[in-house]
Amino acid sequence: MRESLESNAQRVKDFTAREQNGLIARNDLLKVQLQKSQVQLSLDEAEKNVRIINYELVQLLKLPAATQIIVDPSNVDPNLFATPILPENDALTKRHDLEALSFAEKAADAHVKVAKSAFFPSLALTGGYVALDLQNVATVTNAMNVGVGVSYNLSSIFKSGNDVKAAKSRAEEVREQKEILSDRIKTGIVKAQEDYNLSIQQDEVYNEAVAQAAENYRIVRDKYDNGLSDTTELLDADVAELSAKINLAYARANRVLKFYELLEATGSLTESFNIKP
């Protein structure tokens, strides 16, 4: 947009000189002045959005409020798109949210086993000393007896039945949550892959569109200089070229975004970062 604004400012100067020399109508000068104003308004809006997003990002990262974050397409790692995309099964092992449910599932199964343990009798070692005196039969002094005691807590058995049912219900709930999340992750990976493939195609199309728009503007400009086209056609061709360049810039940014989203879906986003201390 800045490049377009400079181009339009120069065109206004050229048309002003032509209008003063009686080579073009006043209306043609007004058209180029209007276009320059429209580009200026668009640029002001874009710069405002940049300032707002910069502030939000600075706040998110807890940086000083005056920090200016510079984003430039040339700063994107050229090897970014060479990052391998994990197969679906491998990607599932990288998702920490799914891993957390796996641990919860194991914990729920363990809780079921604990609840079931109340059905079994409790064992205990018993021991003691006995002094026995049977008249005219036998006399035993300080005899030790040792054994194993088995006991049931009937109230605990009835209560444990409800505990086991609750534990099994919780375990089944966790398994269902894990299955739902697994299906959602698989769907998300497919969608992210399709979105990324589409972004690549759009990038190629917009590359061609920029070349076509530039050639169209060159032809219209030549025709205008030779009096074969009017100012409206020239400005339309100029706007079409600017739109093509803007669309290409969006397409390139969108391709990076969709690639990051694909890495996120496969659980390998953080591994793609090159963080230096």
The tens digit of pLDDT for each residue in 191-245 reads 998 999 999 999 999 999 999 999 999 999 999 889 888 888 989 999 899 999 9
Query: Residue 154 has what pLDDT?
Result: 53
Mean pLDDT across 165-179? 81
Give the number of other CB atoms < 10 A from CB of residue 272: 13
37-80 pLDDT per residue, tens: 999 999 999 999 999 989 998 888 888 888 888 876 666 666 66
* Residues comprising the chain, all counted: 277
Whether this prediction's pTM lies above 0.85 is answered by no
pLDDT at residue 148 greater than cutoff 60: no
User: What DSSP line would sit under 145-174, residue for residue?
Assistant: EEEEEEE--HHHHHHHHHHHHHHHHHHHHH
Contact 206, 251 (CB under 8 A): yes
Task: Provide the pLDDT confidence category of residue 275 given band limits of 50, 70 and 90.
Answer: very low
Contact 224, 231 (CB under 8 A): yes
Query: Residue 109 has what pLDDT?
Result: 77
96-131 pLDDT per residue, tens: 777 787 778 788 777 777 666 665 555 555 555 555
